[in-house]
Amino acid sequence: MRARENGVRLTPVRRRTLEILLEAHGALGAYDVLERLSAEGYGTQPPVAYRALNFLVENGFAHRIQRLNAFTACVHPARDHRAAFLICARCNSVTEACADSFTQAMIEAASAVGFQLERSTIEAVGLCSACAGKPA
Ligand SMILES: [Zn+2]
Ligand SMILES: [Zn+2]
């Protein structure tokens, strides 16, 4: 992925934000991240969390999940990729799956109608493997 190749440095607050996302079971909202950061003395103002999260998203370390208005760490930040997010309707866990072929199909469908696709986000809702086996 771009950031590591370009030698992007993670400041302590960015690194800690990434760790918080990696430790989380599901995606975290900016305010959840801010709560953790401020409890650890990184600052109490919302921009602290938003700036760190935006940096992580822009540099491929994390993804924004629109449906949950939340963030999740990328599972393979080392390479450029298209991701699909599988969101569990019961426990809100987010699983990242590879969507390269899906995205290619999307690009072809778009170009068939003369549309130039710039970006697409794939978010699907269902039950994760843990929840699928449990009674409601
Ligand atoms: Zn990813
Ligand atoms: Zn689940």
- Asked whether 126 and 86 are in contact (CB, 8 A), the reply is yes
Inside any domain, residue 46: yes
CA of 135 to the centre of ligand 1 (A): 31
pLDDT of residue 33: 96
Inside any domain, residue 88: yes
CA of 35 to the centre of ligand 1 (A): 24
CA of 33 to the centre of ligand 1 (A): 19
CA of 14 to the centre of ligand 2 (A): 28
Mean pLDDT of 49-78: 92
Condensed to tens digits (0 to 9), the pLDDT of residues 27-47 reads 999 999 999 999 999 988 989
Regarding whether 108 and 65 lie in a shared domain, the answer is no
pLDDT of 5 over the 70 cut: no
pLDDT of residue 115: 95
Domain boundary among 73, 94, 113: 73
Inside any domain, residue 78: no
CA of 82 to the centre of ligand 1 (A): 7
Regarding whether 95 and 34 lie in a shared domain, the answer is no
Which ligand is closest in space to the CA of residue 65? 1
Q: What pLDDT band is residue 80 in, cutting at 50, 70 and 90?
A: confident
Q: What pLDDT band is residue 95 in, cutting at 50, 70 and 90?
A: very high
Range of the domain at 103: 83-128
Inside any domain, residue 15: yes
pLDDT of 9 over the 90 cut: no
pLDDT of residue 53: 97
Mean pLDDT of 80-91: 90
C-alpha closest to that of 121 among 55, 63, 50, 60: 63
Q: What pLDDT band is residue 4 in, cutting at 50, 70 and 90?
A: low
Instruction: Find the CATH number of the domain harbouring 36.
Output: 1.10.10.10
Regarding whether 109 and 59 lie in a shared domain, the answer is no
Regarding whether 14 and 61 lie in a shared domain, the answer is yes
CA of 73 to the centre of ligand 2 (A): 17
Regarding whether 62 and 6 lie in a shared domain, the answer is yes
Instruction: Find the CATH number of the domain harbouring 116.
Output: 3.30.1490.190
Regarding whether 93 and 64 lie in a shared domain, the answer is no
CA of 21 to the centre of ligand 2 (A): 17
Instruction: Please give the full DSSP string across 25-84, using - where no structure is assigned.
Output: SS-B-HHHHHHHHHHTTS-SSHHHHHHHHHHHHHTTSEEEETTTTEEEE-S-TTS---EE
Helix (H), strand (E) counts: the chain:
6, 5
pLDDT of residue 1: 44
Mean pLDDT of 67-91: 90
Regarding whether 91 and 28 lie in a shared domain, the answer is no
pTM score above 0.85: no
- Would you state the structure tokens that stand for residue 126, as one six-digit string? 């269902």
Regarding whether 95 and 46 lie in a shared domain, the answer is no
How many structural domains comprise the chain?
Answer: 2
pLDDT of 7 over the 70 cut: no
